[in-house]
Amino acid sequence: MREAQLGSHTIQTHGVRLARKHTHDWVVLILLAALVVALHYAPPFSRFVGKDMMTDIRYPVKLSTVPAWSVPMISILCPWLVFISIYVARRDVYDLHHAALGVLFAVLITAVFTDVIKTAVGRPRPDFFWRCFPDGKQLYDQVTGDVICHGEKNFLTDGRKSFPSGHTSCKIKAFDRQGHVAKLCIVILPLLLASLVGVSRVDDYRHHWEDVFVGGLIGFITAVPCYLHFFPPPYHDQGWRPYAYFHMPEELQAANSNNAQN
* Best CA proximity match to 43, nearest among 120, 140, 101: 120
Q: Rounded to an integer, what distance in angstroms lies between the CA atom of residue 60 and that of residue 203?
A: 11
Spatial CA neighbour of 94 closest among 205, 234, 230:
230
End-to-end CA distance of the chain: 34
Q: Are 127 and 59 in contact (CB under 8 A)?
A: yes
Out of 14, 98, 207, 208, the active site residue is 207
Q: Strand pairing partners for 92? A: 9
The answer to whether 117 and 111 have CB atoms below 8 angstroms apart is: no
Q: Could you count the other beta carbons within 10 Å of the beta carbon of residue 60?
A: 10
Q: Is 207 a catalytic residue?
A: yes
Sign of the alpha-carbon dihedral angle for 97, 103, 106, 108: negative
**Active-site hit among 14, 97, 167, 208:** 167
What amino acid positions are annotated as catalytic residues? 167, 207
